[in-house]
């Protein structure tokens, strides 16, 4: 197990443990993102597209408006409009005008999108192997600390 200093080839000490923790979180986030992106690449979807599909599956069979998708996304800076359009072009989602409000566009995951998520879910153990270095108790504590950090 390499320390953050070794991973980023840092010669100087961090100014504080808080600074070290912040850099460590950002580095580890990028590391996990890249592992996730690599596993999703074989399915021709990005982590952001995968996130949109999971959100839509969570509301299925009820459609969601774009704003509802955006506020649930892991990466709030992602362009949800562009992501939904790419997924629509691949046949994973469909957009429909709302019958009760013609200005509202509803987004719904398709059967093809649900099938893709099932396929990816069946490979989840490989993805979760990246977390095998910590115990369940450590994962619980890590989740508690990360939640506390954001509160």
| CA proximity to 109, closest of 57, 41, 31, 45 | 57
Cα 82–Cα 40–Cα 94 angle in degrees, nearest 5: 40
Torsion angle of the four alpha carbons 122, 35, 150, 3, in this order, in degrees rounded to the nearest 10: 130
For tokens 């709302």, the residue is: 98
Q: Helix, strand, coil proportions of the chain in percent (round to 5)?
A: 60, 10, 30
**36-65: burial string, b at 16+ Cβ within 10 Å, e else:** beebbeeeebbbbbbbbbbbbeeeeeebbe
Query: Lowest-confidence range among 87-91, 127-131, 135-139?
Result: 127-131
Q: What is the pLDDT of residue 1?
A: 62
Q: Which two tokens stand for residue 82?
A: 């562009």
Give the residue, 39 or 130, on which the prediction is more confident.
39
Q: Does this model's pTM top 0.85?
A: yes
Q: Reply yes or no on whether the pLDDT at 97 is more than 70.
A: yes
Q: What is the CATH number of domain 16-124?
A: 1.10.10.10
Residue spans per domain, the chain: 16-124
**What is the rounded average pLDDT of the residues 9-26?**
89
**What is the rounded average pLDDT of the residues 70-74?**
92
- Residue 15, helix vs strand vs coil: coil
| CA proximity to 37, closest of 125, 143, 120 | 120
Q: What is the pLDDT of residue 137?
A: 96
d(CA 134, CA 146): 15
């Amino acid at each position: 197990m390499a320390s953050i200093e070794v991973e980023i080839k840092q010669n100087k000490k961090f100014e504080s443990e808080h600074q070290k923790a912040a850099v460590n979180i950002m580095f580890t986030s990028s590391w996990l993102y890249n592992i996730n992106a690599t596993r999703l690449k074989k399915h021709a979807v990005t982590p952001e597209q995968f996130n949109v599909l999971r959100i839509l599956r969570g509301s299925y069979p009820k459609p969601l408006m774009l704003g509802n998708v955006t506020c649930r996304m892991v990466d709030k800076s992602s362009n949800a409009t562009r992501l939904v359009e790419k997924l629509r072009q691949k046949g994973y989602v469909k957009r429909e005008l709302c019958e009760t409000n013609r200005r509202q566009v509803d987004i719904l995951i398709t059967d093809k999108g649900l099938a893709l998520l099932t396929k990816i879910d069946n490979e989840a153990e490989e993805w979760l192997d990246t977390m095998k270095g910590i115990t369940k108790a450590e994962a619980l504590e890590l989740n508690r600390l990360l939640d506390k950090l954001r509160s």
